Structure 1
Amino acid sequence: MTVSAPRLLVPLYVHPAVDPAAWQAVAAAGPALVRAVVLNVADGPGPAPDPAFTAAAAALRAAGVTLLGYVDTRYGRRPHGEVVAEVLTHRQWYDVSGVYFDQAAGHPAALPHYRRLATAARAAGCGTVVLGHGTHPEPDFAEPGLADLLVTFEGSWAEYEALALPWWTGHHSADRFCHLVYSVPDRLARAAAALIATRRAGAGCAVPGGGANPWSALPHGIVPADATPTLIR
């Protein structure tokens, strides 16, 4: 059986003025490799438009890469109106075409809340809705019309190696799932991509970084914009 390599969902949590080469590299990779980029200005859209993020977002759109505005839902504890207001702000300031609802609750009682959020996001013009559970939620979160993509793993490489998939994931297309893995050594980059694919996640991201913000590093598979090509003789 042939397993397709997952496209990248990139949480690029570094300021474009701090690491412009990283943003340029993701744009250069284009939509053939990058399914979407999560735009996270300040754990959300921030208090005012940031010109550096505006320019970076424009470059990614020009390259055909889907942009997702980051919104923290605090496991369902943030009020509906507060969350939707940030979705609208992302749309207005950075012209994102989707939303990444992070810290999404995964228990059955939270389903109505996330159904309303998804409906509001789509009404606001978000063509892509992603729920960042970070672990496998209850099966009903994979219902049609709720989220286009479920992030069902976010953690270290050591944790990912030990992951056991629940039975219900086999009843859905791989395109519905995403696995985000950090602390992946360079020597294991290909092994990580292969494991993501064999675990039927159609989107994923493996990064070498760790610590408080592992997502400030470029994913494995994307060549830095300032890298010098190696001459093979």
Structure 2
Amino acid sequence: MSYLTTPAGPAPAATGTGPLGIGAPGFAHPLLAPTEWAELLRLARGLTQDRGAAGGAPRGAAGRAPRGAAGAPVAGGTAGESPPGVLPPLHWAVLNVARGPGSRPDPYCLPAAAQLRDAGVRLLGHLDVRHGSRPLGELTDDARRFLEWYKADGFWLDRCPTDRTGVSGMRRLSEVLRALTDGGYLVGDHGVPPHPDYVTTADQLVTFRGPWSAYRRSRAPEWTAGHPPERFCHLVHGLPRAHLEEALDIAREQRAGTVCFTDRTDREGDAWESLPGHWDAFVSHIGPGVSE
């Protein structure tokens, strides 16, 4: 599988015009993780918070770009860090009620989803593709529930296949989902660089999902150089705070436009259910105007 490797040599320079942004691949249920969902809403509204101030009142705000637009460069601030009062764009947030939409509308997820959407965030419903083995009818039914109950803007396609044999099935699924959503946004979570033909099956591909120990040695496949950074996302767990800037440099070199980094250890996919211990540092290191 030659598309998984890149010959030794300098990484291609990033050519995307938008800044790095944050993706939220699946905080726990809002009843179990109210702080996490509140932080997403704060980030979406462009608020910085003085945690030492009485009552935790916001101390600054920045206007948000319309949904899906890249943030404009902002002057000021330390290199590699957001200027004071400016937060990076939240590209999307995944809603996973119960490995999907659940059997009925959830009274806690309904307001959480509505608030994020009102703040201009793409809300993606979680659909488990099961490496291409799940019937199209089941996925379509779950998609309709997400759209009817939570007004999803698109879908997070979990556990996508990676080899060429799965491309046709994923193309068919994406056609159906885009028809249901009138062109809704799709993120395919492959976890590793898939066959390049998958680039036609989603708006964004997760081409790395794994531990920091593997990420720091990773290389982007050559075919990704032909696409803008907003087509790719990297998810890294087990990342110590001291290596945040190094990890961001890797993301930029490998042309990832969306990232989520956590110091949590992954156990059966739960690394993303709670806020990283270095959440504030992570957010402050990704800001409009600092992407190369």
CA distance in 1, matches of 2:116, 2:89: 13
User: TM-score, length-normalised on structure 2?
Assistant: 0.71
Whether 1:194 and 2:249 are equivalent positions in the alignment is: yes
CA distance in 1, matches of 2:95, 2:173: 18
Tell me how far 1:192 sits from its aligned partner. Answer: 1.9
Of the two, which has the highest radius of gyration? Answer: 2
What is the aligned partner in structure 2 of residue 52 from structure 1? 108
The higher-RCO structure (CA 8 Å, 6+ apart) is 2
Residue in structure 2 matching 1:141, options 184, 194, 198:
198
Tell me how far 1:121 sits from its aligned partner. Answer: 0.6
| Seq. identity, % | 35
Cα distance per residue 1:68-102 (max 9 Å; x no partner)? 00000000000111111111111111111010111
Instruction: Output aligned runs, 1:80-229, within 5 Å.
Output: 80-125=136-181, 127-143=184-200, 146-212=201-267, 213-219=270-276, 222-223=279-280
Aligned residues: 222
CA distance in 2, matches of 1:220, 1:141: 34
**Unmatched tracts of structure 1, length 5 or more:** 225-233
Cα distance per residue 1:91-141 (max 9 Å; x no partner)? 111111010111000111111111111011111115101111001110111
Superposed CA RMSD in Å reads 2.0
Whether 1:25 and 2:80 are equivalent positions in the alignment is: no
CA distance in 2, matches of 1:148, 1:86: 20
State whether residues 27 and 37 of structure 2, in contact with CA within 8 Å, keep that contact through their aligned partners in structure 1: no
The verdict on how the C-alpha distance between 1:63 and 1:223 changes in structure 2, with shifts beyond 3 A counting, is farther
Cα distance per residue 1:3-61 (max 9 Å; x no partner)? 86421111133111122121111111116521000111111111221111111101111
CA distance in 1, matches of 2:95, 2:162: 23
* Residue type at the aligned position of 2:187: V
Tell me how far 1:2 sits from its aligned partner. Answer: 7.9
CA distance in 1, matches of 2:171, 2:266: 33
CA distance in 1, matches of 2:114, 2:274: 21
Cα distance per residue 1:150-186 (max 9 Å; x no partner)? 0111001111111121111111111110011111112
CA distance in 1, matches of 2:20, 2:250: 10
User: TM-score, length-normalised on structure 1?
Assistant: 0.89
Tell me how far 1:220 sits from its aligned partner. Answer: 7.5
**Unmatched tracts of structure 2, length 5 or more:** 1-12, 45-63, 65-87, 282-292
* Residue type at the aligned position of 2:94: V
* Residue type at the aligned position of 2:22: L
Whether 1:36 and 2:92 are equivalent positions in the alignment is: yes
